[in-house]
Chains A and B, each alone.
Chain A
């Protein structure tokens, strides 16, 4: 049962990264891809109806994590106290930037919120990447199952690391570049003309960097935590995951340069999913490895909720997930196609 919930939580987090990833990415390229008020409105229009629903995946994943692995939630959230609070502030700023910008037709007002939207999107991408880096690298868990990480120590990957060390900073940059390309491809799908052209260009420029960083991050992960190879060696089928990752990268550049934006976007989504699944595959059954003593690591066995609760939860979760999927399909069909600026909404 704990394994099932491990998979569910991983799927929900992946869904969050893929979905909110494209609107974060749209925020990262926002200032560069669109010039002038009309074009900026096009970008906001492209993510307007969906970004809030995408962010709900974070909340729902958080709630499910809390329910299925309360020990992990307790240890992880209190240990990552400072970066999580910063993430919260950034999420707030970003929501306010998107939603309040359009309430006044004033260039100073809009310029201010444009900047807020851009900077919070970029920093969130970096922080989410660094967060994943922290989970893979492990944290200084004590015997009581808790830890507290400062924002940085000496930037080395030692037994008492900070949130930011060279490895997690690299993970943050991987996330930034990946989501930039992801968002650019989404914007390309949703727009026409100049904005579409610029967005595709950004995705193509990102590509070599993304390839390089993917290779670097895989190598660095193996260097920092050699045990990540264990699951792959025990179950060689796992090697399909990196194959998928690189295949997706290839399809991405091929499709983007041919102008097949939808194919490229799907490839980018699968690339992100592949990277996350690859990390999760390496970690299992650990959910939060200890950098101090491997015996202190949190695993699905020592951090899961009670058996009865998990079984009951499976029933309602399935129902909830089917409903949520239904809404999503419905909403995306409703707002499919290119953005036009002729009036809708009020």
Chain B
């Protein structure tokens, strides 16, 4: 791999990974905030309103960081991946431009109204502004997923004389079957982050012995939502996504599972390290025939291994792909276990007293972030060596005139900038959490602000 290509890949990988830490929480929290607002409207209980405002403050901080780290993503299609943009811009420009026109305007306009306008609006109108923010955030997600889905499974395009691809069918692009499952799986993943964040902060308050009423509400809502979405993450969304990969990208499936040899009754690797040089798994723990069953619903089904494909179409980093995938699936399984036990305790009325479970919920906060990141790494590393699957290689897509040195200069710049942003973010969120849901100070510029205690 020549070094300019490597720098441009790292550039996008680093900025997009950092970026997605923020939208996954805003997309996950948006529906939960709507639930809180709905309950506030219904039960006229101030706890719900205070809770909605508290989470809106957290949402606001995340939203700012999501926006400022999101702008570079749109730019990088042109700055770092100009040959790809020239090739595919006639198709994916559609979905990216639609995101701006339909989602960004909606979201930014109504977020302002939601954060600044509670006193000017009737409770019902304010509820509607929360719904509009939710719709904007989730629409935005769809357009991005539809863009990525086209790169995973290109549809609705035609080749033209200058070598680029152009749109042939708008509806095929927008209704790409890959996009539907990927969207469901991704949004459910974001909702898991939102639910765990809510349960985690709630558990923290209960263990701390402060804001008990809010803490119980957060834990309850977080656990119920977390349970629903952890299960949806596995079935049907994860299952369907996996079978989509098996159907359209069989070599990717083989690499994700580190299945080097084709054959009937393929085993599922639970733990083990892929040894690509020797074409085997080191220290394997296997479930016999499980992969065949999961993929084709038959124990003896034939699954194609890496040996069935020429090496120049293998994903170029099989160990990283394998680990990303296994971390995602492993954590997803742990989430289901945690949330089912917590839900059981909640049902029996014992959760708020079960300190061990509250500790687990509190400490589990980072793991949905890791799982979501690992999931995206699986999708994007799995697509390699293609930028557009089967059509256009990653190695052909970067900006040939932007040298490795210039790319490294800006990559380092982003690393420095994002380190500062990350520290500021943690500092501000920590303050919000410490000040708790009852602080009601009005803010100077209208920006969310906690009271000084």
Contact = CB atoms under 8 A, between A and B. Distances in A.
Interface of A: 37, 41, 44-45, 48-50, 52-53, 55-56, 58-64, 66-68, 70-71, 73-82, 84-85, 88-89, 91-92, 95-96, 98-105, 145-148, 305-306, 308-309, 312-313, 316-317, 320-321, 323-324, 327-328, 330-331, 334-335, 341, 343-346
Contacts of B109: 53, 324, 327-328, 330-331
B98 interface: yes
Given A49-B116, A323-B106, A306 B166 contact: yes
Contact of A45 (B64, B112, B424, B446): B446
A313 B94 CA distance: 7
Contact of B167 (A95, A305, A345): A305
Q: Which 4 A-B pairs have the closest CB atoms?
A: A70-B89, A77-B78, A343-B442, A306-B166
A322 B19 CA distance: 30
Interface in B102-134: 102, 104-106, 108-113, 115-120
Contacts of A48: 116, 445-447
B304 interface: no
Contacts of A327: 105-106, 109-110
A334 B166 contact: no
A52 B111 contact: yes
Most buried by B among A73, A84, A85, A341: A85
A88 B86 contact: no
A345 B116 contact: yes
B75 interface: yes
B440 interface: yes
A78 to B, nearest CB: 4
B410 interface: yes
A151 to B, nearest CB: 10
A79 B401 contact: yes
B431 interface: yes
Nearest to B132: A327
A74 B85 contact: yes
16 contacts: A56-B104, A60-B104, A67-B96, A70-B90, A81-B80, A81-B406, A84-B75, A92-B417, A309-B166, A313-B94, A317-B101, A331-B112, A331-B113, A344-B442, A345-B443, A345-B448
Interface of B: 53, 56-57, 60-61, 64, 67-69, 71-72, 74-75, 77-80, 82-83, 85-86, 88-91, 93-94, 96-102, 104-106, 108-113, 115-120, 158, 160, 164, 166-168, 170, 399-402, 406, 409-410, 413, 417, 421, 424, 428, 431, 440-450, 452
B64 A99 contact: yes
Nearest to A148: B401
Contacts of A98: 445, 447
Given A63-B99, A80-B79, A346-B118, 7 more contacts: A63-B98, A70-B88, A70-B90, A92-B417, A100-B424, A327-B110, A331-B113
B449 A103 contact: yes
B51 to A, nearest CB: 12
A308 B166 contact: yes
B187 to A, nearest CB: 21
Contacts of B88: 70
B79 to A, nearest CB: 5
A130 to B, nearest CB: 17
Given A64-B97, A70-B93, A95-B64, A82 B406 contact: yes
Given A96-B421, A308-B166, A88 B75 contact: yes
Nearest to A315: B170
B166 A84 contact: no
Given A48-B447, A81-B79, A89 B85 contact: no
Most buried by B among A68, A76, A345: A345
Contacts of A102: 443-445, 447, 449
B92 to A, nearest CB: 8
A42 B428 CA distance: 23
Nearest to B74: A62
B166 A305 contact: yes
Contact of B108 (A37, A52, A101): A52
A88 B102 CA distance: 23
Given A49-B112, A102-B449, A306-B90, A146 B401 contact: yes
A63 B97 contact: yes
A334 B113 contact: yes
Contacts of B74: 59, 62-63, 66
A63 B64 contact: no
Given A66-B85, A316-B98, A345-B116, A78 B93 contact: no
A119 to B, nearest CB: 15
Nearest to A59: B100
A77 B447 contact: no
Contacts of B96: 63, 66-67
A171 B92 CA distance: 33
Nearest to B49: A346
A56 B170 contact: no
Contacts of A308: 166-168
A67 B444 contact: no
Contacts of A74: 78, 82-83, 85-86, 89
Contacts of B80: 78, 81
A305 B162 CA distance: 11
